[in-house]
Amino acid sequence: MATMTELNRKSTPSVKDPAPIATGLHGHMMGVESLRSVAVEFLGTFVLVLTIIATAIAAQLAKPVAGVPYGSLAIPLAGGFALVVVVASFGHLSGAHFNPAVTVGLTLNRRFPIRMVLPYALAQLAGAIVAALSAWVLFGDRARSVASLGATAPAPGVGVGRVFAAEGIVTFVLVLVVLSVATEARVPQGLAAIAIGLALAAAIFISGPISGGGVNPARALGPMIVAGKFTDWWVYVIAPLVGGAFAATIFHQFLYTPATTEPPGR
């Protein structure tokens, strides 16, 4: 005769342990509150792009700042500072991609779900477009007619090949730094944010005199769309994506130490 314990065991459906939730960059819990993550990508990209292009516009229009206008050194520093802030603030909420090159590179290496690529990329582009519109409102019509809202363009005398190389190389470096510090639990998020921000500043220092320092398809396209100037736009999209994908591949093939829980590939 079956005991009460056995009867309870038979009548109670088996409950499987919940599947572990994969973590992304900066400990972001992927698959949880996806809408919030997309909104954070929009907000973070907005802050990052607005900071960079506002500084570029002020420098080009020679707007006085505490007595003197910004110099060209202010642009990479502004971008670096802004990225430190948004990564430290929002990394745990979305993974702090803020750049389609990061998102696509992770996805190609099956470290980010395919279904989230388009929402993330559209949010990043929308954030950059709203940033450009905001800069137009803040600085007036000359920001668009004279400074092109900080849109990137090749330096005089620089060909498309050199622009492609510059954008690809510096994005490779940036994404490699992002993956190195944002996937390692032993690196505190604050320190990771500083490293990533400094990597962006270095990338703009290197590529600025050649390509204008896009390093991010969303940052490049947003001002171009609002300003209506699409000088070699495809280079600023393709080169960072190639550089980011190459960096992600190198990292995950040779440098990455797998965790116990792997992110889903799709």
Q: What is the CATH number of the domain that holds 88?
A: 1.20.1080.10
**15: in domain:** no
**124: in domain:** yes
**18: in domain:** no
**20: in domain:** no
Each residue's pLDDT, cut to its tens digit, for the chain (266 residues) gives 444 444 444 444 444 444 445 678 888 887 666 899 999 999 999 999 999 999 999 999 998 877 788 888 999 999 999 999 999 999 999 999 999 999 999 999 888 999 999 999 999 999 999 999 999 999 999 999 999 999 999 999 999 999 999 999 999 999 999 999 998 878 888 899 999 999 999 999 999 999 999 999 999 999 999 999 999 999 999 999 999 999 999 999 998 876 544 444 54
Instruction: Return the pLDDT at 22.
Output: 67
**86: in domain:** yes
Count how many Cα atoms sit within 13 Å of the Cα of residue 43 in the half-sphere of its side chain.
15
The predicted model scores a pTM of: 0.87
Q: What is the dihedral of CA 109, 112, 116, 117, to 10 degrees?
A: -30
CA pair distance 7, 104, nearest whole angstrom: 53
Q: Is 19 exposed, middle or buried (0-12, 13-18, 19+ CB in 10 A)?
A: exposed
Give the domain range for residue 177: 30-255
**125: in domain:** yes
**264: in domain:** no
Instruction: Return the pLDDT at 266.
Output: 47
Residues linked to residue 68 through DSSP beta bridges, in sequence order: 65
Q: Is 224 exposed, middle or buried (0-12, 13-18, 19+ CB in 10 A)?
A: buried
Instruction: Return the pLDDT at 258.
Output: 64
How many domains does the chain fold into? 1
CA pair distance 108, 179, nearest whole angstrom: 14
